[in-house]
Amino acid sequence: MIIVTGGAGFIGANIVAALNQSGATDVLIVDNLEKGDKFINVRDLQVVDFLDKREFRNLLAKDYFKEMTIAAILHQGACSDTMEYDGRYMMDNNYTYTKELFHFASGRHIPFVYASSAATYGASTDFTEHPDNEKPLNVYGYSKLLFDRYVQQNWDKVTSTVVGLRYFNVYGPREQHKGRMASMVHQLYLQIKQTGVARLFQGSGGYGDGAQRRDFIHVADVAHLNIHLAHHPSPLHGIYNVGTGVSRSFNAIVASLYQAMNLPPQPIDYIPMPEGLQAKYQNYTQADMVRLQRIPGLHYQPMTLEQGVAAFVQAKEAGL
């Protein structure tokens, strides 16, 4: 059995879909469905069971799973709202819960691949996996960084795979439930679909209108990477960036969307950035992919933005 926490969420559901595509259906989804519309993400997927996150944590504490054969734990469950300021809630979800899973997995030699975040870099302009570059701007980024540091301190006690993946800007199908936290690819697609016009922020941080740059990675690449690392023939210990290694502008997303949607490009509506956002806005990100690419046997060739946006539009038109 493979456990996917956050399995009804955006990245988690795509991991389950990728597992199904490989023939694996012995999957336990763990999630919180208080936001019931997330069920849409998994209604077409084959799984062995579903557990509410709170029930799952209680069962972990009671050692309910000790007799079960678990091939891997892919931990995507977290509060990913960067505007959430309840630090106690964030730390319980993203730090304490992840520690519980880490100790459970490592104590039973179960490969453990978990979602970290590029939010750990925050105000930095250097995105190499090094403590000097870790400058989170919100409690979400801090919660992810704190666990990264915790697991690094405990690697010498672990003989099984423990891998943290610092996701950059992930986009793709099965994220319609995320609302304002959905990717810019998703939000711009809806804007064009509904109004014919895309809206982007005016220039900031020395970048022109809509020219702010991010490293955008398609969720299919993220899903397959999780699965590959969990099944790596040699135990892995590491925290790795997950992006394309190439930054692209928001203007480029809009151009790619019009092309993929077979629509003639329209002028972009550039709007002022909210005053409270400017101090915390990342105008540029680009993953340093050197460390990940050094993993033996890994052939990681992510889609370009144009390829990924085309795949995204195709999936949306198929109802995903």
CATH number at residue 70: 3.40.50.720
Decide: 245 and 304 in contact? Cβ < 8 Å.
no
Say how far apart CA 43 and CA 62 lie, in whole Å.
30
Quote the domain boundaries for residue 238.
2-171+216-243+288-302
Q: What is the mean pLDDT of the segment spanning 217-224?
A: 98
Say how far apart CA 130 and CA 245 lie, in whole Å.
16
More confident residue, 79 or 311: 311
pLDDT at 81 (0 to 100) = 59
pLDDT digits (tens, 9 = 90+) for 232-250: 999 999 999 999 999 999 9
pLDDT at 85 (0 to 100) = 60
- AA identity, residue 266: Q
- AA identity, residue 106: S
DSSP 94: I
**Residue 229 predicted with pLDDT over 80:** yes
pLDDT at 84 (0 to 100) = 55
Residues with active-site annotation: 140, 178
Beta partners for residue 75, in sequence order: 5, 114
pLDDT at 314 (0 to 100) = 96
**Residue 90 predicted with pLDDT over 80:** no
Decide: 70 and 110 in contact? Cβ < 8 Å.
yes
Q: How far is CA 111 from CA 23, 107, 124, 161, 209, in A?
A: 19, 11, 31, 5, 44
Q: Which two tokens stand for residue 198?
A: 């895309």
Angle between helices 219-230 and 10-21 (to 10 degrees): 60
Q: Is residue 222 part of a domain?
A: yes
Query: Rounded to a whole number, what is the largest CA-CA distance in the chain?
Result: 60
Q: Is residue 250 part of a domain?
A: no
Q: Is residue 162 part of a domain?
A: yes
Q: Is residue 66 part of a domain?
A: yes
pLDDT at 221 (0 to 100) = 98
Which pLDDT band, with edges at 50, 70 and 90, does 178 fall under?
confident
Query: What is the percent of the chain with per-residue pLDDT over 70, rounded to a whole number?
Result: 97
Q: Is residue 34 part of a domain?
A: yes
- Count of the separate structural domains present in the chain: 1
pLDDT digits (tens, 9 = 90+) for 10-38: 999 999 999 999 999 999 999 998 877 88
pLDDT at 177 (0 to 100) = 85
User: Across all residues in the chain, what is the average pLDDT?
Assistant: 93
pLDDT digits (tens, 9 = 90+) for 252-278: 999 999 999 999 999 999 999 988 777
Beta partners for residue 29, in sequence order: 4, 50
Q: Is residue 295 part of a domain?
A: yes
Q: Is residue 12 part of a domain?
A: yes
pLDDT at 36 (0 to 100) = 75
Q: Is residue 275 part of a domain?
A: no
Across 9-18, 83-92, 117-126, 212-221, least confident range: 83-92
